[in-house]
Structure 1
Amino acid sequence: MYSEGRTSAEVSDAVRAELLRRYGGTYIDLDAITLQPLPNTTNWLGRIDSKLVTAAVSRFDPGNPLLQSVADNIPSSFNPQGCCSIGPNLFTHILHQSCPKNVTTPSSADPDQAEHCNGVTIFPRSYFYPIHYGYEEDQLQSIFREGEGLGRAFLSNTHAFSLHLFHSLSHQGRVSPAGDSVLSEVAQRNCPSVFQIVKSKDLWL
């Protein structure tokens, strides 16, 4: 049933929804680096772009109706030929169907404005995905660029709660811990123990 290259992502999407539905709590993808304490409310997730909402960084009370709807719809929504059918696509579809005036696709909200649907807050992209996953030079690849002071500039200008590395797209990128890239600066400030180990062993991030 699974595409070999997508199996881990599809299983992760399904398990994430079920764990949050059953137990509640905070979920953060392993390729996300937190930049400051997450919002202290519950029942929220975020936009990954103007068209999609994702639970890759999220917090819910157990038994939340949105998570129940997602879990109920996984069997009929799963598409093994495409990306994200039971992840962002399903969350976005259910939220849009439930609140078509509040959660539009694409979003009609201000880029820095949260949306609300049946007690669930959808935070804007800038909260958790301040650097987009697109392929333009000023998007995802800017995480790795060095010699331009981008790391310090990013940290001094962002109000984001996390930075997503989109591992499936960026896993071949690497930077020196001695550099000034976004990844190096973020890791040094927010993952100091790991950063010092990497630096002391003369490894790459």
Structure 2
Amino acid sequence: MLKEIQMYLCIIFLFAFGIFYELSLEPDCFFFCKPISKQLLIPKDVMSQGRSIIFLETTDRLIPPPLVLCSVESAARMYPDRPIIFFLKGLGNNTMVDSRIPALSSLSALKNVFLFPLQMDILFQDTPLLPWYLQVNTTEEKDWPYISSDACRLAMIWKYGGIYMDTDVISIRPIPEANFLAAQSSQFSSNGILGFQQHQQFLWDCMVDFVQNYNGSIWGNQGPLLITRMLKKLCKLSDFENMVDQRCHNISFLHPQRFYPISYQKWEKYYEVWDSEPDFNNSYALHLWNFMNQKKKNVTTGSNTLAENLFKTYCPATYSTLVQTAQGSYQMPLNKTS
């Protein structure tokens, strides 16, 4: 009898050891390789490791334009071992993606892309933003989609950790930093891309300042202007020299070339044909300044513009859809990331 018990214990030990050995070889496989339906997951399940790449849609739009699709797809390809989370206000309380919306269904089919409703009343709980959110009159805020997005990204990264990206950012190589801000120019930070570990004090302080100095009539007051003034409270910023990033306590302040090699004043260059295209060797991602694009310039197949070639390289499935749409044979083959 004793020998049988010992044998069973040995079998159990070997079985457990085998599982842990496999997980040690592929630490992310425990999450990504289990055949759990995405519809059964909630944000906390997916974001628990603090490694998510987060996108937000704060309008009710449920049909993302090609640039948004490219942003999400490029991140999914660039970070195959990290969850890519797209929060959409228009989903309401529904976690089931409507199959009648091909773009969303195709994004959800990517193995590391997850779509969730953006529920601000829940998100802002246990943060300094909740009292402000409950009192603000959104109908009087002409820039509410942008203001609410500024608030959401702070709360989201503070609560869960990870990287936030605007939906007009194309990822071209992995970002090697955990706690970082992106300089738009010398001594001025953007908030279009930022990354922090969970519960960083800097983000909490930003949320406090967001409420205390709230002024929705000043463009960017709750966005890049807030981030910049809070960073300047921590450190004395200087002009960048060569390609050297700056350090402010535990925050990396990354050179403008990392994300903004083409400044907002020259945003149209993304939609022009270049004699010799830049290699962007010093960049991690490219911000295409969609807010500046009031002329509604689009990526046109066969145009050979810089934007078209970026789509071809970094979001080929989205580009393939553009080609099929131009040919009148629309399909959305986004079910692979390789």
**TM-score normalised by L of structure 2:** 0.53
1:95 maps to which residue? 231
CA contact (8 A) 2:141 2:216 kept: no
> Secondary structure at the residue paired with 1:188?
helix
2:268 is the counterpart of 1:145: no
* Alignment CA distance shift 1:157-1:45 (3 Å): closer
The C-alpha deviation readout for 1:105-129, integer Å capped at 9, x for no partner, is: xx42225221111200010110011
Dislocated runs of 4+, deviation >2 Å: 1-5, 156-159
CA contact (8 A) 1:111 1:124 kept: no
The 2-side partners of 1:180 and 1:98 are apart by 44
> Secondary structure at the residue paired with 2:326?
coil
2:329 is the counterpart of 1:202: no
2:307 maps to which residue? 183
The 2-side partners of 1:60 and 1:200 are apart by 39
The 1-side partners of 2:224 and 2:214 are apart by 12
Larger-gyration structure (1/2):
2
1:118 maps to which residue? 249
> Secondary structure at the residue paired with 2:264?
coil
2:290 maps to which residue? 167
The C-alpha deviation readout for 1:43-85, integer Å capped at 9, x for no partner, is: 1121012242123212211111110110111111221111111
Q: Percent identical across equivalent pairs?
A: 21
Structure with the higher helix share, 1 or 2:
2
RMSD over equivalenced CA pairs, Å: 1.8
CA apart distance, 1:145: 1.2
Give the AA of the match of 2:297. Answer: G
2:211 maps to which residue? 75
Give the AA of the match of 2:209. Answer: N
Count of matched residue pairs: 189
CA contact (8 A) 1:47 1:122 kept: yes
The 1-side partners of 2:169 and 2:229 are apart by 24
2:125 maps to which residue? none
The 1-side partners of 2:299 and 2:190 are apart by 28
The structure with higher relative contact order (CA 8 Å, sep 6+) is: 1
CA contact (8 A) 2:180 2:195 kept: yes
User: Within 5 Å, which residues of 2 pair with 1:47-62?
Assistant: 47-62=183-198
**TM-score normalised by L of structure 1:** 0.85
